[in-house]
Amino acid sequence: MSETLTELNFERQLSPEPRSAAERQEILADPGFGAYFTDHTAVIDYSAGSGWHTARVEPYGPIALDPSASVLHYGQEIFEGLKAYRHADGSVWTFRPERNAARLNRSAQRLALPELPEPAFLEAIKQLVDVDQEWVPSGDGESLYLRPFMIATEAFLGVRAAREVSFRVIASPAGNYFGGEIKPVSIWISRNYARAGRGGTGAAKCGGNYAASLLPQLEAEAHGCKQVLFLDQDNGNAVEELGGMNVFFVFRDGSLVTPALSGSILEGVTRDSVLQLGRDRGMNVQERTITLDEWRDGVASGDITEVFACGTAAAITPIGMLMDETEKIGSADAPAGEVTMAIREELLGIQSGTVADRHGWLHRLA
């Protein structure tokens, strides 16, 4: 680790043109998801010779990149997603950030990027939220979405791991990911495209996985669905995950089931938290293979009573119907399931400080 980073010495250059309080309030009144950004960004640069260096907070704005920067050609990029929540007393907290720091480093290993020490990850987030804390909304279900990411900045077209890299954090006020009220979403089964293959990058949070999901996502949208479901690549029957979320099943017998981590599924922080909340509720929590056949039969027989998607951005979202050209499983007008909504309320309650944080998941930022 470089000297600068050991001391976590972030230089701070404030924006000469921050948004006015009135402009900020207008944005916070209806933030949507991912459309507006705060006034600053946190940055730490890396070079093979000096390690991580030049930690700083600077005004939000375009990044100057050489046109030959490897991220632009070979997609050497990873990212994370976590949120800052405002509590009733005005304090600002985030949720299990050490999990994001660890996952960033697992993704870094897979994408041949340098690992970032956890204290530097946490400090970058703290620094950014400190300077932009007025941007953390206080409305029900609202938060400041934090997007850490790492890109290969070296100007070089040879295909090898870049020797110059930049780690950055940007922040965006967020309401409901799917917009409007929480209601069950319809999901499109991707028959022609897989998200990940054996030995691929499915377990890493890298831009390429999401780029590969966009065409099937368009297919989903063309059929009125909000997200796409990917099946395993081997026999196309085991449920893996949605375009940007993990998936859970509630059974009539009190089981809570999610696909086991197989090397091609993203290890979601919300996924892990839901597993714990399920255990806390005395549910029989299982991480195992669950097939499309079991989904279809379980819904038909009533054994599967609820299905939901989870992720940092969308928290917990009920799934009403799963469909493709040939079949429809469930119903688009199904009401949100009771267990789904109870787990959602509990999770959001812990995050927003209205439910006891019995697992020590919260981390104070400001």
Residues that bind ligand COI (CB under 6 A): 81, 210, 244, 311-313
Pick 213 or 352: Cβ nearer ligand COI: 213
Pick 41 or 312: Cβ nearer ligand COI: 312
Length of the chain in terms of residues written: 366
Pick 202 or 244: Cβ nearer ligand COI: 244
Pick 14 or 214: Cβ nearer ligand COI: 214
Q: Which two tokens stand for residue 98?
A: 């050490």
The residue written with tokens 């831009």 in the block is 207
Pairwise CA distance, residues 350 & 366, whole Å: 17
CB of 312 to ligand COI, least distance (A): 4
Integer Rg of the chain from CA:
21
Pairwise CA distance, residues 91 & 351, whole Å: 12
CB of 94 to ligand COI, least distance (A): 13
Which residue's CB comes closest to ligand COI? Answer: 81
CB of 53 to ligand COI, least distance (A): 28
The single-letter code of the amino acid at 354 is: T
CB of 187 to ligand COI, least distance (A): 15
Please state, in angstroms and as integers, the Cα–Cα distance from residue 341 to each residue in 22, 198, 255, following that order.
35, 34, 16
Asked if residues 205 and 79 have their Cβ atoms less than 8 Å apart, the reply is yes
Q: Shortest CA distance to 147 belongs to which of 242, 245, 78, 238?
A: 78
Asked if residues 90 and 171 have their Cβ atoms less than 8 Å apart, the reply is no
Asked if residues 44 and 115 have their Cβ atoms less than 8 Å apart, the reply is no
CB of 171 to ligand COI, least distance (A): 13
State the chain's maximal CA–CA distance in angstroms: 62
Pairwise CA distance, residues 267 & 203, whole Å: 7
The residue written with tokens 């996985």 in the block is 209
The single-letter code of the amino acid at 348 is: L
Pick 5 or 182: Cβ nearer ligand COI: 182
CB of 66 to ligand COI, least distance (A): 27
CB of 238 to ligand COI, least distance (A): 21
CB of 244 to ligand COI, least distance (A): 4
Pick 312 or 351: Cβ nearer ligand COI: 312
Please state, in angstroms and as integers, the Cα–Cα distance from residue 247 to each residue in 93, 125, 264, 291, 337, following that order.
26, 28, 14, 12, 14
Pick 266 or 336: Cβ nearer ligand COI: 266
Pick 127 or 213: Cβ nearer ligand COI: 213
